[in-house]
Amino acid sequence: MHEYHIVERIVKEALADRSREEIAEILLSVNESSGLDPESIKLYFEDIRQAYPQLKEAKLSINLTRVKLHCPKCNSDFERKEKSFACPHCRAEAQRSPLNKDIFIEKIKY
């Protein structure tokens, strides 16, 4: 049920902006390291959107993104390759980027 609450939060966030307009599509960005299952997210969305007239025709698209790492030595952000944490620029050991977000709304189409 973890995803259910996340989708509920996303839906409320999507409706908060312009609550009277019908939404055509919500584009979500989901980090593949988050452990969140895109199929579950879609199923819960189908369930939750029934309660909101603005979401009657709404589609949910999910854009899976890769883990972003941050190198403290040369201050660069890059995508994680394989299992390596080494920075591609200076080979120093990188950390998870603070910019990483597990899930967020990339775009809403009306």
Give me the helices (H) in 1-110, please. Answer: 2-17, 38-49
Q: Considering the complex, what minimum distance in angstroms separates the CB of residue 29 from Zn ion? A: 25
For 92, phi then psi, to 5°, come to -70, 160
CA–CA distances in Å: residue 25 to residues 19, 33, 80, 99: 14, 24, 29, 25
Nearer to Zn ion, 20 or 83 (CB): 83
Residues engaged in binding Zn ion (CB under 5 A):
71, 73-74, 87, 89-90, 92
Q: Considering the complex, what minimum distance in angstroms separates the CB of residue 93 from Zn ion? A: 9
Q: Considering the complex, what minimum distance in angstroms separates the CB of residue 71 from Zn ion? A: 3
